[in-house]
Structure 1
Amino acid sequence: MGQSANSNTVRFAAIGDIHVTKDSAGSLRALFAQAGAAADALLLCGDLTDYGTAEEAQVLVDELSVVKIPIVAVLGNHDYESGTPEVVTAALTRAGVRVLDGEACEIEGVGIAGVKGFAGGFGRGSLGAWGEPAIKVFVQEALNEVRKLESALAKLRTPRRIAMLHYSPIVGTVEGEPVEIYPFLGSSRLEEPLLRYPVDAVFHGHAHRGTMEGRTINGVPVFNVAKPLLQRSRPDVPPFRLFEVARELAESPVEA
């Protein structure tokens, strides 16, 4: 399974917003097997379960059992719904999945920084920490996620780097959603660490009706890999995004 270790690229398959329920058993193994055959590593970008329950997490783990390549994940807001995201994390960790929440890891020489992220809006539309205490708490949650992302990126020492989130760091990949809900789909505050610690690519989910690809201010590609979006936008191919990163520093990443 996966690509040859002798290849001059490392290939990643990325997907988010799987929304596994207790009735999902048996419905995702073919997709995960395809991703495992096409890539050297699988990136899961949050909303892996629908309500964040132990039962859903076990179904997810069972479906992922066909994958023989490394798996790296971040959680999404749905994985927090039942108030016990640690249950989802524990199930995935026992199955050998690396769940990142402000941490970093390395796969075949490529560094990966991961965090859930949070909402708050983009650019001049960003919510400020002013007024009622509840507003300040909301904004502080976004700032906490920014700090976690920055900490994870700062730990990477590899020449090639990838960032994975659930919420979007740019407005470009949420376009297509109702404008009224943009502030709940991500935060441009999450883009700031990506400007200080450049990466080869960013992957996120959450915006089911958004846009598949955008770029940060400094030109880094950002991919929205929400499964519903990929299914609707590319109905003839499996709903995951492939991205190749050159092993040699002199080479440039190639989007598959």
Structure 2
Amino acid sequence: MRILFISDLHYTHETFHGIYQGLAWSWLLDIVYRTKPDLILSAGDWDKGISREEFEELLREVPVLSIYGNHENMEVLKQLRNPLLENKPVLVEDGEVVEVEGVRISGISGVLSKTGKPKRGVPRKTEEEYIEICKKLRPVNFLLIHEAPAIPEFEGIIKLNPHTKTVLECLKRVKADLILGGHIHETPYTIHLGEFKYLRVDSSQRHRAYGVIDTEERRVEVFIDKKKVKEFEY
């Protein structure tokens, strides 16, 4: 199976990190047309510009499974279902395992905060809630997360606060072939091949990064727009 992995599309008709994001949806459709995936996986942050009409047009072409991040139109995301995937919801519940052509996919949505209270209509989690979900995760091929882990590749790029350390401890115990994440925008992508394998991409118009995964060859190609910049096996 061929999977297109994106995160942080940030589709709005405004600027994000100083860059206009109104072209994000047409850019995504172009990527889908060129890569011809069997499935799209997203680590969240579609943002408030998504509409049910545009998304359902995409879903008629290719199934999508996604978690939510911290910039979302939750009302739209919760309504979306996959007509090409037995009408399964687009939004993967925390810890739920969805199987597609023998490939097992799960996720943990959102970001962490001290109180766990929603912000801008998007739920958040406390560290305790995150750990409890992590303990219940079953072995999967792909795990989608949004919050960043405290891995060496992020040192000097982001603040490795207690939240990122909690995520790191979670990922150390997870049994997943590959963990797919987002949330960080300082660089186009991050690859960690230590005790667990992790790929993070920024698919916003700032970096236009994404991954193409071949599940038969267990190979990942990382692209920035139309240029392949990295390749690794998982």
Same fold by TM-score greater than 0.5: yes
**Is 1:66 the counterpart of 2:58 in the alignment?**
yes
Counterpart Cα distance in 1 of 2:130 and 2:164: 10
Specify the code of the residue in structure 1 equivalent to 2:219: V
Judged with a 3 Å threshold, the aligned counterparts in structure 2 of structure 1 residues 203 and 149 are, in CA distance, closer, same or farther, namely same
Q: Deviations over 1:61-111 (max 9, x none)?
A: 5056235222001111112xxxxx641332334886521231221111111
Corresponding pairs, count: 202
Determine if contact 1:200/1:221 at 8 Å carries over to the other structure.
yes
Counterpart Cα distance in 2 of 1:88 and 1:142: 27
Aligned to 2:29: 32
Q: Which has the higher strand share?
A: 2
Specify the code of the residue in structure 2 equivalent to 1:20: Y
Determine if contact 1:13/1:241 at 8 Å carries over to the other structure.
yes
Determine if contact 1:45/1:205 at 8 Å carries over to the other structure.
yes
Identical pairs, percent? 18
1:161 to 141, 145, 155: 141
Describe the SS at the equivalent of 1:49.
coil
Aligned to 1:224: 200
Aligned to 1:109: 102
Judged with a 3 Å threshold, the aligned counterparts in structure 2 of structure 1 residues 137 and 31 are, in CA distance, closer, same or farther, namely closer
Aligned to 1:245: 215
Unaligned runs of 5+ in 1: 1-9, 51-55, 80-84, 121-134, 233-237, 247-251
- Equivalent residues in 2 for 1:71-220 (5 A)? 71-79=64-72, 86-93=74-81, 97-102=89-94, 103-119=96-112, 135=114, 141-151=126-136, 153-154=137-138, 156=139, 161-175=141-155, 177=157, 179=158, 181-183=159-161, 187-210=164-187, 212-215=189-192, 217-218=194-195, 220=196
Describe the SS at the equivalent of 1:62.
helix
Describe the SS at the equivalent of 2:126.
helix
Q: Which has the higher helix share?
A: 1
Describe the SS at the equivalent of 1:99.
coil
TM-score by length of 2: 0.69
Aligned to 1:13: 4
Unaligned runs of 5+ in 2: 15-20, 118-123, 222-234
Specify the code of the residue in structure 1 equivalent to 2:172: L
TM-score by length of 1: 0.64
Counterpart Cα distance in 1 of 2:57 and 2:160: 35
Aligned to 1:49: 47
Specify the code of the residue in structure 1 equivalent to 2:36: A
Specify the code of the residue in structure 1 equivalent to 2:149: P
Describe the SS at the equivalent of 2:78.
helix
Q: Deviations over 1:204-242 (max 9, x none)?
A: 111001462332651x321111214x853xxxxx63211
Counterpart Cα distance in 1 of 2:126 and 2:5: 26
Counterpart Cα distance in 1 of 2:93 and 2:127: 13
Q: Deviations over 1:29-76 (max 9, x none)?
A: 3523433643221011111114xxxxx3316x5056235222001111
Determine if contact 1:176/1:210 at 8 Å carries over to the other structure.
no
Aligned to 2:232: none
Counterpart Cα distance in 2 of 1:172 and 1:64: 39
List structure 1 runs of 4+ shifted beyond 6 angstroms. Answer: 23-26, 136-140
